[in-house]
Amino acid sequence: MLGSLRDLAPIIVVILFFQFAVLQQPLPQLLDLVLGLVFVVLGLTFFIFGLEMGLFPIGETLAHAFALKGSVFWLLLFAFALGFGTTIAEPALIAVAGEAATIAAEAGVIATTREATEGYANGLRLTVAFSVGLAIVIGVLRILMGWPIHWLIIGGYVMVVIMTLFAPPEIIGIAYDSGGVTTSTITVPLVTALGVGLASSIKGRNPMIDGFGLIAFASLTPMIFVMGYGMVIG
């Protein structure tokens, strides 16, 4: 808990400085703010404790088990399912997809009915989740084959730039944000543990060099797929 307070201290200092020194106004609803801060500290404390106790170990254990099993098919299927399942459950993605659907309805891009907005949001979530699942598969193949990560990343971003020229303007910002919200509280711990555990289990692979980088793919592919999704529905 003290560690969580230390991590939050810079944010608290920034807010207090601008509130009192720049805006020169008292804090509104002080009791609610203090109570909310307590909840944030508790939530962050239990979240980090849960990661260290559960998610990281299970990710590494599964990676070791699949490496020992020696079946590339099941490993890649697990990688896709892990990327898809963790992303579809990301709270940040749910929030962004819902907001994007609301704005699209207000702008007349889609119908203003509940069915249309829910369909748009769900389609966006499924598209992003599928893209992350594919990204984790590519990342696992990179670890298995020893491919250099920089060429894959460079090629991916070249594709992002090219698609930006042709995608509908309304979807470009959402696509770029989708690349960020996928790498959040649920996806990052499990995917990172998978990469490190897999690299540790394969002879000739360095966990520091080969174990990391899966998150980069998970941030890249949603931009490509969401812009493609915008072209299709547009």
DSSP assignment of the chain: -HHHHHHHHHHHHHHHHIIIIIS--PPTTHHHHHHHHHHHHHHHHHHHHHIIIIIHHHHHHHHHHHHHHT-HHHHHHHHHHHHHHHHHT-HHHHHHHHHHHHHHHHTTSS-SSHHHHHHHHHHHHHHHHHHHHHHHHHHHHHHHHT--HHHHHHHHHHHHHHHHHHS-HHHHHHHHHHHHHTSSTTHHHHHHHHHHHHHHHSTT--HHHHSS-HHHHHHHHHHHHHHHHHHHH-
d(CA 137, CA 78): 9
Section 172-200 average pLDDT: 83
Output the pLDDT for position 135.
92
d(CA 34, CA 41): 11
Q: What is the dihedral of CA 93, 95, 98, 100, to 10 degrees?
A: -70
d(CA 202, CA 68): 9
Q: Which of 55-64, 118-127, 162-171 has the lowest mean pLDDT?
A: 55-64
pLDDT in tens, 63-114: 778 777 777 888 899 889 988 988 888 888 888 888 888 888 887 878 888 8
Output the pLDDT for position 185.
72
Question: Radius of gyration (Cα) for the chain, nearest Å?
Answer: 21
Section 108-126 average pLDDT: 86
Q: Which residue has the higher pLDDT, 199 or 155?
A: 155
198 band by pLDDT with thresholds 50, 70 and 90: confident
Section 160-172 average pLDDT: 90
- Single-letter code of the amino acid located at 63: A
Contact 193, 59 (CB under 8 A): yes
Output the pLDDT for position 4.
80
Output the pLDDT for position 160.
94
Task: Provide, rounded to the nearest whole percent, the portion of the chain with pLDDT above 70.
Answer: 100
Q: Which of 55-69, 102-116, 142-156, 217-231 has the lowest mean pLDDT?
A: 55-69
Output the pLDDT for position 80.
93
Task: Provide, rounded to the nearest whole percent, the portion of the chain with pLDDT above 90.
Answer: 19
Section 36-56 average pLDDT: 82
Contact 98, 121 (CB under 8 A): yes
> How many other β-carbons are positioned within 10 Å of the β-carbon of residue 11?
11
Rounded to 5°, angle at Cα 37 from 219 and 30: 130
pLDDT in tens, 128-148: 999 999 999 999 999 888 888
Q: What is the pTM of this model?
A: 0.79
Q: What is the mean pLDDT of the chain?
A: 85
Would you state the structure tokens that stand for residue 52, as one six-digit string?
């260290």
Output the pLDDT for position 234.
66
